[in-house]
Amino acid sequence: MTFTGDDKKDVTRALGTTLICQGGANFTPVVAKGRLRQKLQLQQRLKVQNIRVEKDLTTDANGLVVKLADTLTKMKGISGDGQNDLVIKNGTNTITVTPNTASEK
């Protein structure tokens, strides 16, 4: 069987063998200029690229790597557990969102 990630590189495994899909390092979406940039912007509008699946290029690797973008786009929300503070950090700046009490909705 042949599997292909977002990078269009094939990973082939015989029936009955294991395909490994694992989390990978964050990736940075492509930055381009001119016409290529316009084309990529159109592609990104059509397809959000927050998660990417690629062939694992490690020597003797046996599968695909799932990566999370270092810049998330077109997100509709960030959810905490409602019990603990939700903390967002950037350098020395911090924003803390505290959970609602039972009387707040």
pLDDT of residue 71 exceeding 70: yes
Q: Report the pLDDT averaged over residues 83-105.
A: 82
Q: Cα-Cα-Cα-Cα dihedral of 36, 66, 87, 72, to 10°?
A: 20
| One-letter amino acid of 79 | S
What are 10-63's pLDDT values in tens digits? 888 889 988 887 765 556 665 555 666 666 655 555 455 778 888 888 887 778
**25 vs 83 pLDDT, higher one:** 83
Backbone angles phi, psi at 101, to 5 degrees: -85, 170
Q: What is d(CA 25, CA 36) in angstroms, rounded to the nearest whole number? A: 26
Q: pLDDT value at position 55? A: 83
Residue 100: what pLDDT?
78
User: What is the pLDDT, as a whole number, of residue 104?
Assistant: 47
DSSP string, 19-82: -EEEE---B------HHHHHHHHHHHHHS--SEEEEE--STT--EEEEEEBSS--S-------S
The residue-averaged pLDDT of 67-80 equals 82
pLDDT score for 47: 55
